[in-house]
Amino acid sequence: METSGLKEATAGGVQGYLPALRNLAKSSAIYALGSVGAPLISLVLAPFITQHLSAEDYGVLAVLVTFIGLGAGVTQLGLNSAFFRTYNFDFTSKDDRRSILATVYVLLLLAAIPLAIVTFMLPSPVS
């Protein structure tokens, strides 16, 4: 983790913190766009979807989207943020980074397999 900007900020007094605050605001805005983007797209598309789907079809779509969200939350195991933190800050060698990438890939695959099996064992297709 780079701390040179923080060292310069403390040496420069209050004015020294402004570049660090700008960097923090920029990084936070990028993450906020990612978390706000999907719900915003859903909100914009809702009138178009409801115009072309019956109430029953829209209900099925809502249940399907809910199950997909739950399944993704369960199968991802919070590994997304843990992977990026570990990959970028904890490991520097290529071998270590390959190892963490392979480990995360295998864990995600092992978590997704039971969900896929349950999905294929459903008594009837969701329609």
pLDDT in tens, 24-76: 788 777 777 777 887 888 889 888 888 998 989 888 888 888 888 887 887 78
Report whether pLDDT(2) > 80.
Answer: no
Report whether pLDDT(106) > 70.
Answer: yes
pLDDT of residue 64: 86
What DSSP character marks residue 90? I
Integer Cα distance of 55 and 59 in angstroms: 6
pLDDT of residue 4: 52
Mean pLDDT of 71-89: 80
Integer Cα distance of 88 and 95 in angstroms: 13
**How much of the chain exceeds pLDDT 70, in percent?**
85
Report whether pLDDT(83) > 80.
Answer: yes
Question: Is-above-0.85 flag for pTM?
Answer: no
Tokens 């072309």 belong to which residue?
52
Tokens 């978590």 belong to which residue?
111
Q: What angle do CA 85, 69, 86 make, to 5 degrees?
A: 10
pLDDT of residue 11: 56
